[in-house]
Amino acid sequence: MKKVFKIIILLLVLISIILSTMVVISVKKYYDINRLCTLINANKTNEAKEMIGKIKNVNSFTAPLWLRKIYNMNEYDISTPLIIACEKGNVDIVEALLDKGADPNLSLDGGWAPLEVLYARKSDNRIVIAKMLINTGVQVDLFRSYKSALFIEAESCIYKTTFSEDERNFLTESIVLLLENGASPINENGDTIIHYLAYGGQTKTIELLASDYGYLFEKENLKGETPLDWAKENGKYSEELEKLCKTHVMVRNH
């Protein structure tokens, strides 16, 4: 009986050691990820890159799933190093993470997707970083808490009243990049990229998109509004814009 009891005690001790080891390994994993995220948040590029080289798997969230569920954590607690690097617009760190195998689509509902937060934070480096994410297989329409990168970019046509030439060129380059890499030109409300551009009076960009997306010029959204309706609503209507739209429609219908 004593022998059996000793065996049971020994087994319990071994199980305790194994469980303790697993907990330590798990805690260290999240400690390292949180430490890395802290460095990225502080824009300590060299230190962050050094730590990236030491971490085996950079595809981890800042807290384990069971803890996120218990505490109903917000988007800052369900981020990955790549999401935070995109939020900061840090090209060097994004590159280091992608080279280490970071998944450009790893994200959770209620948080941010990497490309989504990159555009939401309006980083000056968003085109450069977007190209890096695209080259590693990002889903350009993926979003978790707001909207797709294309329509976040297009929002500037709603909120900005004037654009410098450089800003207009940047807007055009960004929109073309996303569209060329599979972004849907129509959102869940039936609004098209042409609606937004017409609202902002971006005639040159609309003209550039005419050959591939001219079919959207007369497209109505779910409210029955066309791009020209949006332009008139914002006072951005022009004869040039109407001529551009109607000319394309006439050509397409013949």
Torsion-angle region of residue 89: left (phi > 0), alpha (psi -120 to 50) or beta? left
Helix and strand numbers (H, E) in the chain are 14, 0
pLDDT of residue 214: 87
pLDDT at 64 over 60: no
Q: How far is CA 14 from CA 8, 24, 200, in A?
A: 10, 15, 68
Q: Give the residue, 112 or 27, on which the prediction is more confident.
A: 112
Q: What is the pTM of this model?
A: 0.81
Helix axes 45-54, 2-41, angle to 10 degrees: 150
Q: Report the alpha-carbon distance of residue 239 to residue 156 in Å, rounded.
A: 23
Q: Residues 160-209: pLDDT tens digits?
A: 878 999 999 999 999 999 999 999 999 999 999 999 999 998 989 999 99
- The pLDDT, as a whole number, for residue 31 is 77
CA-based max dimension of the chain: 98
Domain 168-254 CATH class label = mainly alpha
Q: What is the mean pLDDT of residues 9-27?
A: 56
Select the more confidently predicted residue: 172 or 12.
172
Residue 224, amino acid: G
pLDDT above 70: percentage of residues in the chain: 78
What fold characterizes domain 24-146? 1.25.40
**Partners of 192 in beta bridges:** 186
CA distances from 152 to 64, 90, 125, 167, 184 (A): 30, 19, 15, 15, 13
CA distance 185 to 39: 37
| Res 68 pLDDT > 60 | no
User: What tens digit of pLDDT does each residue of 204-254 get?
Assistant: 999 999 889 988 988 999 999 999 999 888 777 677 777 777 765 544 443
- Which ranges in the chain are annotated with CATH 1.25.40.20? 24-146, 168-254
